[in-house]
Amino acid sequence: MASADTILRLEALSKSFGGLQAVRDLSFDVNAGTITSLIGGNGAGKTTAFNLITGNLVPDSGHIYLRDARVDGLPPHKVARAGIARGFQELRLFNRLSARDNVEAAIPNLRGESIIRALIGGRELMDERNAADARANALLDDLTIASQADSLAERLSYGQQKLLSLGRLLAAEGELLLLDEPTSGLSPGMVDDFCTRMRRLTGNGKTILLIEHNVDIVMRLSDWVVVMHQGTKIAEGRPEEVRNNVTVMHTYLGITS
Ligand SMILES: Nc1ncnc2c1ncn2[C@@H]1O[C@H](COP(=O)(O)OP(=O)(O)OP(=O)(O)O)[C@@H](O)[C@H]1O
Ligand SMILES: [Mg+2]
């Protein structure tokens, strides 16, 4: 079971696709209020690990605990309700919806809205809608894309779409945020902004598990780093410890000396 400040625990997780072991005997903890980075080369098993955590995949063996509750085997909507919000490697926006509607669609209460209730309508539903509008507007404002609230998602620049997808993640109100390559394709200025935002989020009580290819960002932002290679964990530690690990340098960072 998890210790007091452990929010997420992976215990000996394994997942195969046919003959390929994508994740092999993977164990690590994520401490509450920290930024933990999951790194490794292409095909190392990082996204598969995320899919196991979020219930999009069921592990062949092993367990996942969110605080003291087992979440492996739960369907994704129950994992989300338990407090894990996830961003995708690809943006997964609703291109033909406005930026505001994209964020609103990620707000939990509205997602559960029944057709009957929508037909009956009434004051309660109006209040909920107004609250969702206000929440979406506040998120877009904070992400500096309020001026695009009524624009179709597909009209936004790539950087704005990345911010919008972060807005959808934040709208889900998880305690633990899983981000899969959130900085890919961002300009250096936007990367700085992103790092500031991540720190602000942990300052506000969120915990972040990040898949990140950019070594500079990993070193700058992480409290803890887990290194995967061919489905297994080959190292973990504070950023400076991992950087100094010779195996990591060879297998992941590609540095030979
Ligand atoms: N649904 C699937 N069916 C079959 N094989 C899969 C499936 N998902 C992932 N794989 C394979 O599992 C391995 C791990 O993939 P995964 O996507 O987890 O890697 P990754 O570390 O996220 O890589 P990248 O950095 O390229 O995103 C790869 O060999 C991949 O081809
Ligand atoms: Mg991936």
Asked if 181 and 230 sit in the same domain, the reply is: yes
Residue 192 CA to chain centroid, in angstroms? 18
- Cβ of 45 less than 6 Å from ligand 1: yes
Residue 256 scores a pLDDT above 60: no
At 174-233, the pLDDT tens digits run 999 999 999 988 999 999 999 999 999 999 999 999 999 888 899 999 999 999 999 999
- Cβ of 17 less than 6 Å from ligand 1: yes
Domain boundary among 157, 172, 187: 172
Asked if 70 and 141 sit in the same domain, the reply is: no
Could you say which DSSP state residue 53 is in? H
Higher pLDDT, 128 or 254: 128
- Full domain range(s) for residue 142: 96-172
Question: 36 with 209: CB under 8 angstroms?
Answer: yes
Region 26-50 average pLDDT = 95
Q: For residue 253, tell me if it sits in a domain.
A: yes
Asked if 237 and 116 sit in the same domain, the reply is: no
At 116-137, the pLDDT tens digits run 666 666 777 777 788 889 999 9
Asked if 75 and 50 sit in the same domain, the reply is: yes
Q: Which ligand is nearest to the CA of 49?
A: 1
Residue appearing with tokens 């300052």: 203
∠ CA 199-200-203, rounded to 5°: 90
- Cβ of 22 less than 6 Å from ligand 1: yes
Q: For residue 91, tell me if it sits in a domain.
A: no
pTM of this prediction?
A: 0.89
Asked if 42 and 167 sit in the same domain, the reply is: no
Higher pLDDT, 100 or 42: 100
Quote the CA–CA distance of 35 and 42 in Å, as a whole number. 21
Q: Whose CA is nearest to atom 24 of ligand 1?
A: 42
Half-sphere exposure of 107 (CA within 13 A, CB side): 20
Asked if 147 and 185 sit in the same domain, the reply is: no
Asked if 65 and 119 sit in the same domain, the reply is: no
Asked if 179 and 249 sit in the same domain, the reply is: yes
Q: For residue 137, tell me if it sits in a domain.
A: yes
pLDDT the model gives residue 214:
87
Asked if 165 and 50 sit in the same domain, the reply is: no
Print the SS3 string covering 194-212.
Answer: HHHHHHHHHHCCCEEEEEC
At 10-36, the pLDDT tens digits run 999 999 999 999 999 999 999 999 999
pLDDT the model gives residue 88:
82
**Pairing relationship of beta strands 61-66 and 232-237 according to DSSP bridges:** unpaired
Mutate which of 24, 42, 48 for ligand 1 pocket (most atoms within 8 A of beta carbon): 48
Q: Whose CA is nearest to atom 3 of ligand 1?
A: 17
Residue 108 scores a pLDDT above 90: no
Look at the chain and report how many structural domains it folds into: 2
Q: Which ligand is nearest to the CA of 252?
A: 1
- Cβ of 43 less than 6 Å from ligand 1: yes
Q: CATH number of the domain that 198 lies in?
A: 3.40.50.300
Using a CB cutoff of 5 Å, list residues around ligand 2, an ion. Answer: 47
Residue 257 scores a pLDDT above 50: no
Distances 241 to 44, 51, 185, 233, 249 between C-alpha atoms, Å: 20, 28, 28, 15, 11
Q: Whose CA is nearest to atom 1 of ligand 1?
A: 17
pLDDT the model gives residue 255:
58
Residue 6 scores a pLDDT above 90: yes
Distances 81 to 84, 85, 108, 173 between C-alpha atoms, Å: 7, 9, 8, 9
Residue 89 scores a pLDDT above 90: no
Average pLDDT, whole number, for the chain? Answer: 90
Quote the CA–CA distance of 133 and 127 in Å, as a whole number. 10
Model confidence at 139, pLDDT cuts 50, 70, 90, reads: very high
Question: 84 with 145: CB under 8 angstroms?
Answer: no
Q: For residue 89, tell me if it sits in a domain.
A: no
Asked if 164 and 63 sit in the same domain, the reply is: no
Higher pLDDT, 115 or 184: 184
Asked if 52 and 33 sit in the same domain, the reply is: yes
